[in-house]
């Protein structure tokens, strides 16, 4: 329950899923209490900073996009945020040289690998968490996302697609580092073949390929090697939810349940949670605070 950061900076290079542009990303250690933030190194100092917060989200169509006070945007932050949450990283600066983070293979696996290569440093500061005190729910038609009080950090997602390969499936996770790495991190983003031309005509998925997304055509998965998990589609929705809720600014102690939810509902859920002062509270592990006070 102590705060963490990375032991050393580490970088990777890839392409943006939607922009198709080459992206170089570097994760750097930061001090306790600094939180998670992004910087676009291609912009001037006044426009480059993006706090990783739910109230900075400006667009949720097919990915989660942040917009800062200068009007600059940074897209597709959810997979990196999921990796940081899954690995228990509290403080890091993430630099990228363009408008979108690299998609890598469409999952969080590469980012978990980077974090493990950099190493995790435990800091002498207690971790602050957001405890859910009562159920909060948001809805869009039949789509629902909710948070409920729980002693664990748990996630459950159910999806329903009018496609025989995806159909109806669900996935769940009690979040800890090893479970995230083995059960969720490798689940890739996905799409339907019949939607690809329309997306590209609208300037989206320009960097998409079978190397960074699962593509389904009718009953067939087009990717060589098929799926990584039988319910990989639902597991990726759990991955997205973990990443989107990591924009709370601190780990959430509660149970997330999503039915056909996505980035938009996930963000609306955080907005609804923090608008209700009776639905949440800050919590710091007492034993850490007392130990630090005694040794100060």
Question: Which residues participate in catalysis according to the annotation?
Answer: 263
Which among 156, 139, 157, 137 has a CA at the least distance from the CA of 147? 137
> Left if phi > 0, otherwise alpha if psi is -120 to 50, otherwise beta: which for 167?
left
Residue 133: CB partners within 8 Å, gap ≥ 6? 149, 278, 279, 280, 281
Dmax over Cα atoms in the chain, in whole Å?
63
Q: What does each C-alpha distance from 193 to 200, 203, 217 come to in angstroms?
A: 12, 16, 5
- Lay out the sheet containing 65-67: strands in order across: 57-59, 65-67, 73-74
Distance between CA 181 and CA 184 in Å, rounded?
6
DSSP labels, 132-191: E-S-EEEEETTEEEEEE--SSEEEEEEEE-SSTTTSEEEEEEE--HHHHHHHTTTPPPEE
Residue 27 region by backbone torsions, left for phi larger than 0, else alpha for psi between -120 and 50, else beta: beta
């Amino acid at each position: 329950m102590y705060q963490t950061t990375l032991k050393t900076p580490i970088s990777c290079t890839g392409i943006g899923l939607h922009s198709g542009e080459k992206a170089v990303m570097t994760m750097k250690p930061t001090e306790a209490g600094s939180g998670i933030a992004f910087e676009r190194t291609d912009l001037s100092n006044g426009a480059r900073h993006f706090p990783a917060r739910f109230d900075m989200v400006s667009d949720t169509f097919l990915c989660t996009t942040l917009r800062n006070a200068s009007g600059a945007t940074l897209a597709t932050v959810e997979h990196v945020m999921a990796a940081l949450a899954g690995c228990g990283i509290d403080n890091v600066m993430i630099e990228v040289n363009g408008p979108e983070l690299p998609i890598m293979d469409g999952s969080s696996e590469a980012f978990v690998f980077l974090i493990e290569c950099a190493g995790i440093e435990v800091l002498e500061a207690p971790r602050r968490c957001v405890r859910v005190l009562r159920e909060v729910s948001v809805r869009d038609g039949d789509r629902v996302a909710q948070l409920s009080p729980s002693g664990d950090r748990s996630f459950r997602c159910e999806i329903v697609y009018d496609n025989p390969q995806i159909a109806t499936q669900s996935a769940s996770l009690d979040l800890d580092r090893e479970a995230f790495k083995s059960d969720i991190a490798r689940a890739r983003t996905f799409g339907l073949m019949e939607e690809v031309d329309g997306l590209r005509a609208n300037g989206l998925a320009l960097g998409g390929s079978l190397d960074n997304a699962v593509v389904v055509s009718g009953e067939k998965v087009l990717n060589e090697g098929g799926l990584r998990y039988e319910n990989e589609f639902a597991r990726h929705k759990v991955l997205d939810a973990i990443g989107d809720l990591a924009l709370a600014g601190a780990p959430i102690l509660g149970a997330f349940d999503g039915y056909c939810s996505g980035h938009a509902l996930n963000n609306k859920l955080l907005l609804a949670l923090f608008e209700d002062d009776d639905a949440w509270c800050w919590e710091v592990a007492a034993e850490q605070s007392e130990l630090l006070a005694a040794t100060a």
